Amino acid sequence: MKKIIIDDAVPYIRGVFEPWFEVQYAPGAAIDAAMVRDAAALVIRTRTKCDAALLEGSAVEVITTATIGFDHIDLDWCAAHGIKAFNAPGCNADAVMEYVFAALKVFEKRSLESGRGPLQGATLGVIGVGQVGHRVADMGRKRGFRVLENDPPLQAAGTTRELVGLDTLLRQSDIVTIHIPLWAQNRNFANADFFSKMKPGAIFINASRGGIVDEDALLAHRPQLSGLAIDVWKGEPDINPALLAAADIATPHIAGYSIVGKINGTVASVRRVGEHFGIPELTNFKIEHSYKPCDIDAYDIMADDAALRADPAAFESLRTHYKLRG
């Protein structure tokens, strides 16, 4: 019987693989080379870095991550060594979209209280219009925003979406939200030049990856922003205390943490393993549920903010033990 290692924080997965595999559950950060040496498959989340240090000499054939992002997997190394690696595209896209608009609800309340008026009609700039970004853009239009979209890779591939250049977006947008992957070329994407081009008094939201933003540049530009929401941080779980203090909304990398999003991620991971090993019961795996997408207007984002500020050192446990939104 082949062995599979599973991050013990992946929900709704216990008992699924046991009929076909020897299963070992472990905290994601604790999965190490000795543990995976005789494992045929890994089901992980972002806290397991899959590179040569972990995988060299192992029996691993396939890795599935129950997340949209896969910057924690060295895809080139895996491909060169015959290891298949899969993510779960779009699994938590609705949850991240809901997070963005829950944040905007907070900023609108503050805008109204200060006499600046409602945000509706303001220009929302969405950088990256893939699985998450296009949902943010579409919801923005439904909620009365003028929306600008930027996505050079999508433009190069051909799209019917109306896209604008980055400089145009930054210059005109009252709100800028980023939804791009953490590829090597995107590290410190939002740098000093980026922030210098933003419209004075704009709101900035990052719920993509911490490495996308040059945090020193952001802090230097903070006085020119009217609002700042940060869900993802460089060096997680050891986050920048200055950025925590500067943010109006600060949360522990939980924007995508909804029940439906987690179910989607688990289902995608199980099916990929099933496809690889030719197990129909896993390839056709489903989780029956009656959950509906979270109600944006009911989500209390400031409760998550308060929990992080009360104990920043608990960042990882706040993520691991997070009470999922509906």
Q: What are phi and psi of 235, to 5 degrees?
A: 75, 15
Q: Which CATH architecture has domain 3-87+259-283?
A: 3-Layer(aba) Sandwich (3.40)
pLDDT at residue 28, as a whole number? 95
Q: Same topology for domains 3-87+259-283 and 93-256+295-320, yes or no?
A: yes
All residues at 6 or more sequence positions from 298 whose CB lies less than 8 Å from its CB, including other chains: none
pLDDT at residue 297, as a whole number? 77
Q: Which fold has domain 93-256+295-320?
A: Rossmann fold (3.40.50)
pLDDT at residue 298, as a whole number? 79
Give the pLDDT means over successive 10-residue stretches in the chain (326 positions). Answer: 96 96 97 98 96 98 93 95 94 93 96 88 96 96 96 88 96 98 92 98 97 98 98 96 98 92 94 98 92 76 96 92 76
pLDDT at residue 323, as a whole number? 78
Domain range list for the chain: 3-87+259-283, 93-256+295-320
Strand order in the sheet with 22-26: 22-26, 3-7, 41-44, 62-65, 84-86
**Are the CB atoms for 75 and 51 separated by under 8 Å?**
no
Nearest to 174 by CA among 119, 229, 231: 119
**Are the CB atoms for 128 and 179 separated by under 8 Å?**
yes
Q: What is the largest CA-CA distance in the chain?
A: 66
pTM above 0.85, yes or no: yes
**Are the CB atoms for 211 and 72 separated by under 8 Å?**
no
Cβ atoms < 10 Å from Cβ of 13: 23
Adjacent-strand bridge partners of 149: 126
**How far does Cα 249 stand from its chain's mean position?**
16
Catalytic residues: 209, 236, 253
